[in-house]
Amino acid sequence: MKCILVSIAMASSYLLVMFLGAVTAVEVLRPRGVPLSKRQFYEENRPFTCLDGSGTIAFDRVNDDYCDCKDGSDEPGTAACPNGSFHCTNAGFRPGFIPSSRINDGICDCCDTTDEYNSGATCQNTCRELGRKEKESLQMLAEVAKEGFLLKQQLIHEAKRGLDEKQVVTELQLSKRASEDAVEALRLVKEAAEKPEKEAKDRHLKAWEEQQAVIRAEKDNTKMAEAFLRLDVDADGLVSAVELQAHTELDPDADGMFTEEEAQGVLGGVETVDTAAFETIWSSIKEKYLSEVTVWPASDHDSEQYPDEEVPEEYEDEDPDDEDDEDQDEEDDKVGRPPPLSLLFSSFFFNPLPKVKPSGLYSQWLTRSVLMGLEKEISLDFGPSFEFAYLYGQCYDLTTSEYIYRLCPFNRVSQKPKFGGSETNLGSWGSWSGSEENVYSQKKYDHGTGCWQGPNRSTTVKLTCGKETVVMSVSEPSRCEYLMEFTTPAVCQEPPSLDANHDHTEL
């Protein structure tokens, strides 16, 4: 049975994908819209089986502008299937998929213009430009991250020193001797604290593991991208066999003669690969690949281990004699793993107690105050390495055309009219509220001043890595729900560069 011709001019259902490298040209024939990784399913002149196995059709029904497969897989290059997707190669930038409904809709979606082959839309190929921009911005981000991360280490270091200097223990001992009442109160606090402590511990462990997994994946991706950039000597967006030959460590038989054929073999039998294809071969070469400049530290993985040691339990070991040791332990524990919960008593350490010897009533009062402070602080979570502690007690302002916004981390957010008028509470410190992968990327302040017929005001603060601690912007996407963007070194991730090694040795 033969279909009559569709009245719209259908372009060929094939796409001759041309990779025009500087040295060689490779032609990969595959139906339009099919990613390289799936080309083996689309073999010309063989019946095509829908990728979900729901049916088999003649190959000339692939990309014939009629949807035959329930999963849309027979029309990767047309808009015929409501659930299909189209692969843009985007040479020079990242490859990607778009919903097939965006094929020939007159709007340029793929930077390589391949989605608009029959709509009359005039699209410019912007992939190189996008690639360049992305690279630049990644570099810039990396630089910020690098410097930010150094700052973060300092913050962590300072936090640690703060602990050393303040000799909290002495004060605590004093206070304990001061009153039986206080001890009793402490015991109560301890009991109250145990539960959240356990929960906090579990949460930290989970968050930590997830975070490490993400970081590992990111690192690997970055390594891969970096490797690609380094290998791609002529910067044409393609790694060629010739370029690969310079890396003799990748010689499969390690005979000292890394031939072009061997190099092609490594590339999966082709002359050149783009980023997408490189992705597929990366896993086979990454162990061998040596960057000229980067030596990945052997200790890299060590830092990702969650420490097995128990979280210090200073409250349980209330016995004053133990406290010195414990304090000592803390210092050792602090770096490169989640926060020992003792560190949650931060402000206590940062706000030294009066150096008078308390006696009698004063002592009782003091103890109570300390306990109240502790009780408050016990709920504060200053981050895996205590890196957010420096924000405590600080405030950061942003002035807009109408208002002055003030963020006092771990305390509250407020808004004050620029030209007089009373202050409005936009929320008090609630909790970290980032995604499961990174709970410290966002925090929530809630229970602010109520809105008539609306909710109480609340503010979400999004934290991004920056060298400086600044409120970048404030908006009110929904009435009485504010969104604040805040940069701080404390969220900077360890940049995957040669500095990694250095950081580790320093710590």
Least distance in angstroms from the C-beta of 376 to another protein: 30
Nearer to another protein, 332 or 452 (CB): 452
Least distance in angstroms from the C-beta of 244 to another protein: 37
Nearer to another protein, 286 or 479 (CB): 479
Least distance in angstroms from the C-beta of 454 to another protein: 4
User: How many whole angstroms separate alpha carbon 169 and alpha carbon 188?
Assistant: 19
Nearer to another protein, 4 or 293 (CB): 4
Nearer to another protein, 268 or 454 (CB): 454
Least distance in angstroms from the C-beta of 408 to another protein: 24
Least distance in angstroms from the C-beta of 402 to another protein: 9
Enumerate residues 6+ apart whose C-beta is below 8 A from 493: 145, 149, 215, 218, 465
Nearer to another protein, 99 or 320 (CB): 99
Footprint of another protein (CB under 8 A): 1-8, 64-66, 79-80, 82, 99, 101-102, 105-107, 119, 401, 451-455, 475-481
Least distance in angstroms from the C-beta of 3 to another protein: 5
Query: Which residues are bridge partners to 399 per DSSP?
Result: 404
Nearer to another protein, 79 or 500 (CB): 79
Of 302, 265, 259, 260, residue with least CA distance to 285:
265
CA dihedral for 221, 226, 227, 232, sign (positive or negative): positive
Please report, as a single letter, which amino acid is at residue 342: S
User: How many whole angstroms separate alpha carbon 74 and alpha carbon 143?
Assistant: 45
- Cβ atoms of 88 and 114 within 8 Å: the answer is yes
Strands (E), 149-203: none
User: How many whole angstroms separate alpha carbon 507 and alpha carbon 502?
Assistant: 9
3-state secondary structure of 436: coil
Least distance in angstroms from the C-beta of 84 to another protein: 10
Nearer to another protein, 102 or 247 (CB): 102
Residue 337 half-sphere exposure toward CB, CA atoms < 13 A: 19
Enumerate residues 6+ apart whose C-beta is below 8 A from 118: 8, 9, 10, 11, 104
